[in-house]
Structure 1
Amino acid sequence: MIKTTLDRRQLIKALAATGLLSQLGSFSTFAAAPKRLYVDGLCFLPDELSDLADSKIDAYLCDISDIEAIKQSDGTTNYKRTYNACMKSIDKALTRVKQNPDKLILGESAADITRAHHTGKTAVFFQIQGADCVEESIGSGLNQVDEFFDKGLRALQLTHHYGNLFSGGALDNAPSSDGVNQGLNKPLTSAGKALIEKLNQKQILIDVSHSSPQSALDTAKLSNAPIVQSHGAVRAIVNHARCSPDEVIKAISDTGGLFGVFMMSFWLTNDKVPTTEHYMAHLKHVAKVGGIDAVAIANDYPLRGQKNLLKLNNDNSEGVKQYLDWWHSLRAKNVLGYEIEPVHVVIPELNHIQRMERIDTALADTGFSSSDRDKIMGGNWQRVLKAVLS
């Protein structure tokens, strides 16, 4: 991708070089450039609502779920978003949004993004990371989906890490015929197919983050609306079970959906020092495989950044220690990618409240045009949400 248009800073520099700037007046006489739309693929309601304005994000998918820690038979821990936990958490989130109308808008349609952008507020589209919250039988008509929708849910992830009633998980594992443990690429289940139909009918966005590749491919084939991977990374760059193969990226794009690249640096590079250039590499790869309309930004940390790393002044060597027990438990199962010891958690310059502006600038420096940046930084999310939501 070649930058085909000058941004405002480049225009000012060019005018200054020709001497025209002094004739036209100072920088302040130029009309202020409109703010680019910023939409994030996954974040949370912040402890301090002032973070909303400081982040300059207009809208984001907001994980409002709560979890129960479930010990699995193999000794690893899965964190399930149960019905009771998520009903309580969505009520709590909805109350907070309603109590702060000067700062927050409950995202129910793409028009709420525009409204937030023009009023200086932030639109939050409620999302749950895992359909474990739908606990009823298929014969019931999946009425719990209706309950969550009525409380504001607009995006549902099929599973989280491990498989469930509906979908295979990215970290599912089972012995192969020769007795060696390896990742098992589980397909979408019959219950999962019914859930896809229900979510399409309710006009709820389907998120295949954390799904197995086969379940994601099955979902892309079945859905009659665009699907997304709200937050993830590219397996062609980091060969890890939590990263997505090109065929998944392409299938999501073919639905009219998008792929959000997140901030978890141990899934962005195996190099010892993670940089913004590593993040740009994933965005460029998604654009190459799925087209520019498939590229989006995600976080998967709080608005300010990963809390423990911020306390440690982004010292990755110390911060990574909190992940090692979990990492080693999956290495023992020979899950793809866990054989490589992680040495970092964040890209320091992006573990920051103003990371969206920093990403925007990095995109320009990398050679993305202004129109491409409009899409990547928020336009693609706005388009997909307009296509899916009522």
Structure 2
Amino acid sequence: MIIDMHTHAGRPRRTGDVDRSVIATMAPAGVAAAVVSAIGDIPMIRRDKVTGRLEKFRDPNPGECLEAVEGYLTSFENAGIRIAREPEDFREDDPALVLAIEGCDFLEGDLDRLDAMEARGVRSIQLTHYLVNETGDIQTAPPVHGGLTVFGAEVVRRMNRIGVILDVAHCSEDTVKGVAEVATKPFLCTHANLKEPGAPQGDHPRFVSPDYARMVVESGGVVGAWISVLREEKLPGMIRHMFRMIDALGIDHVGIGSDLPAGVAATEMPNFSRHPLLEAALRDRGLAAEEVEKVCSGNWLRVLKAVRDV
């Protein structure tokens, strides 16, 4: 059974419906669930023509990020596939989506919006994306807050209390240090790779240091192997980084976070048909069946169970 813990499956665009042909590839590939992220800051970011990296180009208007999130969530809810909300909702022969949000920009100082999203079925929320927001700093822009803010700490506590998984992908290392001091439940870094000094792209700003990854591990959390920026190595590179993380972090703390169809995934993993190659690579390396299951789905499910135990 495979669970991809960070995707934009069938809905990469700013507006519109989910492409159901993408969702239809889940069952044949043995993908039991895809965590699908609503992007709050999508109207305020664009790709730099020189660096090719996403960055902020304007500030959001009041309510604009919340509107973007709600539009995404509605499209996922209308995609013709069931929404999984609890650990017992996952079945290999009956694929589901898990609702998530990328960036707390939609909060605008209102913690009760977290409760509303939990009631709607959202089960995973990132603190930040490409805007430095009121919760903390990001990896791809100069620091503003010096890490996790006082409000960000309240967000962490509220998410732990109501049973929503906290995702620190895109957060600066100092922000994660603050999260680690406050969090009482495991948290995730759903899509990243370990820094690799001296290697092409090895110091990509979205890659994480051993210390960063260790904070996720010490919480009981999981880091998801990522493909989107691997322009040279492509899918074999994602597999290589997956094994680097297994060796460095341990079999209990690595998962799959493709981010499809973003970046390189647009051609390498535009849908779920190639996910079985990740599972096969784990088996071919000689991992036991239970170890393969941990990376493909079990580690993420363990975190969901721990967080939903409220």
Change beyond 3 A, Cα 1:370–1:347: farther
Which of 218, 226, 236 is the matching residue for 1:262? Answer: 226
Return the structure number with greater helix share: 1
Shift of 1:110: 1.0
Partner-residue secondary structure (3-state), 1:106: coil
1:246 alignment partner in structure 2? 210
Partner-residue secondary structure (3-state), 2:118: helix
Shift of 1:381: 1.2
Which of 51, 59, 62 is the matching residue for 2:33? Answer: 59
1:353 alignment partner in structure 2? 272
Partner-residue secondary structure (3-state), 2:5: strand
Q: Which residue identity is paired with 1:129?
A: E
Contact persistence 1:41–1:230 (CA under 8 A) = yes
Measure the CA separation in 1 of the matches of 2:30 and 2:224. Answer: 18
Shift of 1:198: 0.7
Identity between Structure 1 and Structure 2 (%): 21
Measure the CA separation in 2 of the matches of 1:65 and 1:279. Answer: 23
2:15 alignment partner in structure 1? none
Q: Which residue identity is paired with 1:50?
A: A
Shift of 1:161: 2.9
Which of 173, 198, 204 is the matching residue for 2:164? Answer: 204
1:144 alignment partner in structure 2? 113
1:327 alignment partner in structure 2? none
Which of 132, 135, 138 is the matching residue for 1:163? Answer: 132
The answer to whether structure 1 residue 121 and structure 2 residue 101 are counterparts is no
Partner-residue secondary structure (3-state), 2:100: strand
Measure the CA separation in 2 of the matches of 1:231 and 1:79. Answer: 25
Question: Structure 2 matches for 1:30-49, cutoff 5 A?
Answer: 37-46=1-10, 47-48=19-20, 49=23
Structure having the higher Rg: 1
Q: With structure 2 as the length reference, what TM-score do the two structures score? A: 0.82
Q: Which residue identity is paired with 1:108?
A: R
Q: With structure 1 as the length reference, what TM-score do the two structures score? A: 0.66
Measure the CA separation in 2 of the matches of 1:379 and 1:368. Answer: 14
Unaligned runs of 5+ in 1: 1-36, 175-183, 307-322, 324-344
Shift of 1:56: 2.4
Which of 241, 249, 253 is the matching residue for 1:282? Answer: 241
Partner-residue secondary structure (3-state), 2:190: strand
The answer to whether structure 1 residue 221 and structure 2 residue 181 are counterparts is yes
Unaligned runs of 5+ in 2: 11-18, 47-54
1:384 alignment partner in structure 2? 303
Partner-residue secondary structure (3-state), 1:58: strand
Contact persistence 2:25–2:273 (CA under 8 A) = no
The answer to whether structure 1 residue 89 and structure 2 residue 49 are counterparts is no
Mean Cα deviation higher: 212-221 or 291-300:
212-221
Q: Which residue identity is paired with 1:58?
A: A
The answer to whether structure 1 residue 231 and structure 2 residue 191 are counterparts is yes
Contact persistence 1:275–1:348 (CA under 8 A) = no
Change beyond 3 A, Cα 1:82–1:291: same
Contact persistence 1:185–1:214 (CA under 8 A) = no
Measure the CA separation in 2 of the matches of 1:79 and 1:381. Answer: 33
